[in-house]
Amino acid sequence: SSTALHEGSDSSFSLTNLFGGGGAATASPNLRGKSGGSGSKHPSVRPHISPLNRFKKGQDPVQTKPTSELLPSHPEAVSGVIESNGMPYIILPNKSPPGRFEAHLQVFSGSADELEPQQGIAHLTEHVAYMGSRKRERLFGTGSQTNAYTDFHHTVFYAACPVVTPRGNIPMLPMALDALQDVMEARVETSRLEKERAAVLSEMTMVNTIEYRVECQILSTLHRENRLAKRFPIGKEVLIRNWKND
């Protein structure tokens, strides 16, 4: 996983303090968000070119392109790796809108990593983790927005917040990062699983339009030679209905 910050405040805050100690629904079939085993080699194992490579050239062991062919680094980007856990991060100043920042926690795993009987598990897990975070609720009433989404290759949780709280001028970056960390530590409680299972099934009904099915068919045709043709993030209804909390 990685974290990326887009901010307009002091970037000297230590990410290690938070991570080193030990929207709206969309009808696109390749992006799923929310409103509110065997010992054999995994068939989806593949070289994964992290977007962080544009900031840290030549340091990814699975990089397949010469560094001369990569996109140039953003001149204002600050990047690094937290030594205690190896998580990479990027900090990118953003002056518009003023007085606000965004924090994105990106997990490099999505629906393309699912096995046949797991279709939809990444999306459902994203729902459960996001909605199961209690610390995220601390951002309520501060002018912040939080959400999450799942696509073929990534699961992303994010918070868009003012630099300081409207009352008390308390810095919000630590609060946002703490909430994102809490998302990754959320417990899968039976009650929460059932609520999010219902939410995902409802989402399936809402997006089941002619336009959505046509887009799915187009993507299936374009990706007929790889797993994406059969691994849409929304998953399979029959599987989602029958998963147990164990």
**Residues with active-site annotation:** 126, 196
The set of residues, in sequence order, having a beta carbon less than 8 Å from that of 141 and lying 6+ positions away, is: none
Q: If phi over 0 gives left and psi between -120 and 50 gives alpha, with beta otherwise, what is residue 86?
A: left
The count of other CB atoms within 10 Å of the CB of residue 105 is: 24
The sign of the dihedral angle between the CA atoms of 243, 200, 189, 115 is: positive
Task: Kindly state the DSSP code that residue 227 receives in the 8-state scheme.
Answer: G
Beta strand 88-93 pairing with 31-33? unpaired
Residue-by-residue DSSP string for 115-134 = -GGGTTHHHHHHHHHHHT-S
Region at 143 (left for phi over 0; alpha for psi -120 to 50; beta for the rest)? left
> How many H helices and E strands in the chain?
6, 7
CB burial string 127-153: b at 16+ within 10 A, e below: bbbbbbbebbebbeebebebbbbbbbb
Token code pair at residue 195: 């609520």
Longest CA–CA span in the chain (Å) reads: 56
